[in-house]
Amino acid sequence: MTTALQTPQRRSRSKLQDASLVNGPMLLLRSIRGFSSNRSMLWLATVPLALFGLGIFNLSAHAADLPELNAAFLANNLWLLIATILVIFMNAGFAMVEAGMCRSKNAVNILAKNLFVFALAVTSYWFIGYSLMYGGSVADGWLYFGGLFFDPTVTADMVTDAGLVPTVDFLFQSAFAGTAATIVSGLVAERVKFGEFVVFAIVLTAFIYPIAGSWKWNGGWLDSLGFVDFAGSSIVHSVGAWAGLVGAMLLGPRIGKYSDGKPQAMPGHNMAIATLGALILWIGWYGFNPGSQLAMDQWVPYVAVTTTLAAAAGAIGATIVSTLTSGKPDLTMIINGILAGLVSITAGCGDMTLAGAWFAGLVGGIIVVFSVAALDAAEIDDPVGAFSVHGVCGVWGTLVIGLWGTAVQGDGAGMGLFNGGGINLLLVQALGAAAYAIWTLVTCWIAWSIIGGLFGGIRVSEEEETQGLDISEHGMESYPDFASAK
């Protein structure tokens, strides 16, 4: 009797193992219905892998043309998908940091911007941005284009060479585009019109960011000079920061921010969610930096460690300096110190020793405190310190490779000025940082000005700003059961 009962089960398992990716899911579901509860749990655990194989690799239409999937191919693509999810989750961190550091009457507006801008970024980047960034050459080294949308076809060479499939690569790159647009939100918070902001986000992610990114990441002119930006200190973070800085300068400061030329405190309404947001960003950065290895190899954990050490050092540096300058440790500076450390290592996370990464983060945490004070002195209203974190530390993270970068994943030789590499790389890094600043400042000034001209300005009215953007822009309150903190 036992043998008779086991025979069909063995037959079922054999059919499932031999099934194609087209028929496999249905056989899998039938098997689940036929098993006991313990075995059902085991089979349910395989469902994500089945969906991964079907959805991401798009093999249903090409299964007959492709060689057998090898372990390296699966590992590389699965790792990049996981990294992509981590980077996308960073949107929650950005939203919480920005909302927590601003006043409660604008929380809905901030959350709506951060949520909606990612939807726009993915769409515009899918429509044309990805093609401008990774398409064929139009003006060699400067401009690329490969047609609208992108080709998701998986080829035999991709499988054989353990390469990335186009859909996974697109997802990862679109998450980076969304990050650049989200940085802008922090600089223009509490006074920008919602509609005008989202139009700018479309322009940024469809044209401005992709063209700049191609200069390095598609073999453009900066790449040919030897410019190093492993995961985007300049390409992602400084571009987003420069774009936001233009918007902040055109908008002007928030009402009441400056009195007789002196900055007035406008405390954030919820430091608990701001702190949680910072921790989410720290975790998400393990997709941002290690994911940029673009393969699951021995260097992924190394990049994760350089990222961690820089973040830790940034927190230490910012805490010490804020305590010395204000008399007490400032939580907002601890948060910004962590983020400053992370941005400071993003360009060099694969080209720094562990000690070099820690020191780069420490300097980033120190300079972010002074940068926030400098912007206040210049009467540039940056509600969450976004330019200091992503702009100033983005430039610093780019330059530091020219000071003590090391070819860790190569021959281990020093690349920077202070460890035997000479001054050439430092000059190239400075040129790259300047190029991204100039490109973004000019193009974003044009974009913001045109949008403002077409739609009657980019700033809400004084009455709407005083009332709060939650009511004036969205018709709702973030905390309807409590009195709003004005």
Q: What would the pLDDT profile of 128-168 be if each residue is shown by its tens digit?
A: 999 999 999 898 899 999 889 888 888 888 888 888 889 99
**10 band by pLDDT with thresholds 50, 70 and 90:** very low
**26 band by pLDDT with thresholds 50, 70 and 90:** low
Please state the rounded mean pLDDT for residues 403-429: 92
- The tokens for 151 are 């080709």
Q: How far is CA 235 from CA 213, 300, 429, 454, in A?
A: 6, 21, 12, 29
Please state the rounded mean pLDDT for residues 191-206: 94
Read off the pLDDT of residues 420-429 as tens digits, 9 standing for 90 and up: 889 999 999 9
64 belongs to a structural domain: no
- pLDDT in the model for residue 36: 43
Percent of the chain as helix, strand, coil, to the nearest 5: 70, 5, 25
Instruction: Round to whole Å and give the CA distance between 136 and 186.
Output: 34
Count of domains forming the chain:
1
Instruction: Round to whole Å and give the CA distance between 31 and 240.
Output: 50
9 belongs to a structural domain: no
Read off the pLDDT of residues 258-304 as tens digits, 9 standing for 90 and up: 988 788 888 989 999 999 999 999 999 999 999 999 999 899 999 99
164 belongs to a structural domain: yes
- The tokens for 138 are 């139009």
228 belongs to a structural domain: yes
Q: How far is CA 214 from CA 59, 143, 356, 400, in A?
A: 29, 7, 28, 22
Please state the rounded mean pLDDT for residues 453-476: 90
- pLDDT in the model for residue 209: 96
Torsion from C-alpha of 241, 247, 250, 251, nearest 10 degrees: -120
Provide the domain limits for residue 132.
Answer: 69-474
- pLDDT in the model for residue 261: 79
145 belongs to a structural domain: yes
Write the DSSP symbol of residue 459.
B
What lies within 8 Å, CB to CB, of 5 at 6+ separation is: none
- pLDDT in the model for residue 320: 96
- pLDDT in the model for residue 324: 94
Residue 124 has pLDDT above 90, yes or no: yes
Instruction: Round to whole Å and give the CA distance between 380 and 159.
Output: 51
269 belongs to a structural domain: yes
The whole-chain average pLDDT of the chain stands at: 86
Residue 329 has pLDDT above 80, yes or no: yes
If one compares 157 and 17, the residue with the highest pLDDT of the two is 157
CATH number of the domain that 326 lies in?
A: 1.10.3430.10
131 belongs to a structural domain: yes
Instruction: Report percent pLDDT > 90 for the chain.
Output: 69
**230 band by pLDDT with thresholds 50, 70 and 90:** very high
Instruction: Report percent pLDDT > 70 for the chain.
Output: 86
Judging by beta carbons within 10 Å of its beta carbon (0-12, 13-18, 19+), is residue 103 exposed, middle or buried?
A: buried
Residue 94 has pLDDT above 60, yes or no: yes
165 belongs to a structural domain: yes
- pLDDT in the model for residue 64: 46
Instruction: Round to whole Å and give the CA distance between 219 and 67.
Output: 29
Residue 3 has pLDDT above 70, yes or no: no
